[in-house]
């Protein structure tokens, strides 16, 4: 049977041990691993592996010995409790072995858990689990967590007093962080607020959130947007040493100034404009970008975008001029533009 996303989340949190098996598949290995860990922990508990109630079977081993899975689901251990036979990184090459185990599965046997990458509708594994009357197939996509998932993570971590503003910041954070990083941030927030009965604030979240990999590029864009032209040379030298190309700088600057223009030109005000930006502006940068948008105004931002478009064309042309020098000149002109 096929599990819908909402039903899948409920099943992952509280899997039914009377079901023969579960297939988890999708393009994001990290999300697959997190869901697999959740299901295993719910079925066998924290001591399951130590009590030998979890059997891990690499797909490569199952190809060589198709009977391994059948043996694993029928084996009886010394400790009572539910058991799991876990086949990792499966492909259609082991579909026959898994199909045989599913057909011979009886109540009391170990739950068959299979994980794999993206599968097409024609995949033998996917057809097998979706067509089985006592097994599930769940697709995991690279979508940001919904409000219900974030609230579940918060409850699990013991963080309960979340005002609407702080929840909005967490949802913004969920859109830009990888699932593992987001879960670690929630755990860090739980420790940060331990013994503190006051509601969670945006500052609390900012103090717990990880620094992004684009922090140095963001710093450069802030320097330009805030007219601090004397700082442009040193930070470009650092970025160039890190391998950031001039074209990447130009693309980043164009995206930044487009968001500022969207904020400055919105008839409902900069706050409404910045909220419409896609991809969303990270919550830690919203206030700073709002100040920049108000300082520039629509007319100057339109001129800034024209300058960046011209620079982009120069960088992509057959010009022999040093690209980083062209980019530095454009950024200095931008920074001076806002000082007039």
Mean pLDDT of the chain: 89
What fold, for 5-139? Rossmann fold (3.40.50)
Tokens of 253: 């600057």
Do strands 2-3 and 135-139 pair parallel, antiparallel, or not at all (unpaired)?
parallel
- Of the pLDDT bands very low, low, confident and very high (cuts 50, 70, 90), residue 128 is very high
Sequence-distant (6+) residues with CB within 8 A of 274 are 259, 262, 263, 281, 286, 289, 290, 293
> Does the CA dihedral 167-7-38-174 come out positive or negative?
negative
290-326: pLDDT as tens digits: 999 999 999 999 999 999 999 998 888 766 778 999 9
Q: State the pLDDT at residue 234.
A: 85
Q: State the pLDDT at residue 321.
A: 74
Verdict on whether the full-model pTM lies above 0.85 = no
26-44: pLDDT as tens digits: 988 888 998 999 999 999 9
**What integer is the mean pLDDT of 37-55?**
91
Q: State the pLDDT at residue 176.
A: 66
Is the model's pLDDT at 99 over the cut of 70?
yes
Q: State the pLDDT at residue 171.
A: 84
Is the model's pLDDT at 340 over the cut of 70?
no
Q: How far is CA 46 from the centre of its chain?
A: 26
Q: State the pLDDT at residue 215.
A: 43
Tokens of 302: 């339109």
Rounded Cα–Cα distance for residues 231 and 221 (Å): 11
Q: State the pLDDT at residue 248.
A: 86
Angle between helices 147-157 and 179-192 (to 10 degrees): 40
Rounded Cα–Cα distance for residues 202 and 195 (Å): 18
Q: Which region among 29-33, 84-88, 286-290 has the lowest average model confidence (pLDDT)? A: 29-33
- Give CA angle at 335 (333, 337), nearest 5°: 65
209-249: pLDDT as tens digits: 775 444 478 889 999 999 998 989 888 888 887 778 888 89
- Most confident range (mean pLDDT) of 129-133, 244-248, 273-277 is 129-133
% pLDDT > 70, the chain: 96
Q: Which residue has the tokens 């068959």?
A: 112
Q: Which region among 184-193, 203-212, 271-280, 283-292 has the lowest average model confidence (pLDDT)? A: 203-212
Q: State the pLDDT at residue 153.
A: 86
Is the model's pLDDT at 109 over the cut of 60?
yes
Residue 37: which of 143, 191, 171, 183 has the closest Cα? 183
Domain ranges (residues) in the chain = 5-139, 147-208, 213-328
Is the model's pLDDT at 151 over the cut of 80?
yes
Is the model's pLDDT at 332 over the cut of 90?
yes
Rounded Cα–Cα distance for residues 300 and 331 (Å): 14
> What CATH number does the domain located at 213-328 have?
1.20.272.10
5-139 and 213-328 share one CATH topology?
A: no
Is the model's pLDDT at 166 over the cut of 50?
yes
């Amino acid at each position: 049977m096929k599990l819908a996303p909402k039903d899948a989340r409920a099943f992952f949190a509280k899997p039914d041990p009377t079901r023969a098996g579960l297939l988890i598949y999708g393009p994001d290995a990290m999300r697959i691993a997190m869901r697999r860990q959740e299901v295993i922990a719910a079925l066998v508990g924290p001591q399951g592996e130590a009590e030998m109630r979890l059997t891990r079977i690499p797909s490569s081993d199952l190809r060589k010995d198709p009977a391994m899975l059948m043996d694993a689901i029928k084996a009886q251990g010394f400790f009572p409790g539910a058991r799991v036979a876990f086949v990792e990184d499966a492909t259609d090459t082991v579909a026959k072995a898994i199909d045989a185990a599913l057909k011979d599965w009886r109540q009391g046997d170990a739950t068959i858990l299979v994980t794999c990458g993206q599968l097409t509708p024609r995949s033998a594994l996917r057809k097998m689990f979706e067509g089985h009357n006592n097994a599930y197939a769940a697709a995991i996509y690279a979508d940001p967590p919904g409000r219900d998932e974030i609230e579940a993570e918060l409850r699990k971590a013991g963080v309960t007093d979340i005002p609407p503003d702080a929840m909005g910041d967490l949802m913004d954070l969920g859109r830009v962080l990888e699932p593992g990083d987001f879960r670690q941030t929630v755990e860090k927030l739980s420790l940060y607020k331990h013994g503190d009965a006051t509601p969670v604030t945006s500052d609390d979240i900012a103090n717990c959130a990880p620094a992004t990999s684009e922090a140095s590029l963001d710093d450069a864009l802030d320097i330009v947007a805030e007219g601090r032209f004397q700082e442009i040379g040193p930070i470009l030298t650092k970025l160039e040493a890190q391998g950031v190309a001039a074209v990447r700088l130009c693309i980043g600057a164009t995206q930044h100034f487009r968001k500022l223009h969207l904020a400055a030109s919105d008839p409902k005000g900069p706050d409404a404009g910045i909220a419409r930006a896609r991809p969303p502006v990270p919550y830690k940068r919203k206030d700073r970008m709002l100040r920049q948008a108000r300082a520039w105004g629509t007319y100057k931002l339109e001129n800034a975008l024209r300058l960046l478009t011209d620079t982009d064309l120069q960088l992509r042309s057959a010009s022999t001029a040093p690209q980083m020098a062209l980019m530095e000149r454009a950024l200095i002109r931008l920074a001076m533009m806002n000082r007039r």
